[in-house]
Amino acid sequence: MTKTSTVEYLGELRTQMVHLDSGSIVITDAPKDNQGKGEAFAPTDLVATALASCMISVMGIRARKDAIDIVGTKAEISKVMQLSPRKIASITIQINFPNVYSEKTKKILEKTALACPVSKSFDNDIKQVVTFNYPEN
């Protein structure tokens, strides 16, 4: 099994993650509501954001296959934490497309997004609310 990444604790509830293939670095902080400074993504922020990133990535794969232009597609992410036990209760994602698509294309993109591997990795305890927004014709 190939290693994906490393995580180092830097103190003050901060970690540094390194992606081994690329050398990319991500810093995390504990959130303000859990004794942290909130100066960077919290690990749970990354989980919620990874869901949206995965959805857009798999739509990109499908879009490339079908010659659909989704460049400029953006997502807005919100998460709600449950207090006891402390965990993610829900993730709300609004995916905003820059282009007008046929109903068939919309269905393809939406079905693809909702089947992303991150989404399928969560148990049913995490509520996922996903809205797809398209510009008016």
Mean pLDDT of 48-53: 98
Residues 62 and 124 in one domain: yes
Question: Which residue reads 């709600």 in tokens?
Answer: 80
125 and 63 in one domain?
A: yes
Count of Cβ atoms closer than 10 Å to residue 123 Cβ: 5
Query: Do 10 and 77 fall into the same domain?
Result: no
Q: With CA atoms as reference, report the closest residue to 109 among 54, 70, 52.
A: 70
- Give CA–CA dist 66/114, Å, rounded: 18
- Give the amino acid at 100: V
For residues 70 and 112, state if they share a domain. Answer: yes
Q: Which domain holds residue 115?
A: 43-133
Domains in the chain, number: 2
* CATH value at residue 127: 3.30.300.20
Q: Model-level pTM?
A: 0.93
Residue 19 and residue 50 in one domain: no
Q: What is the pLDDT of residues 14-43, one digit of tens each?
A: 999 999 999 999 999 999 989 999 999 999
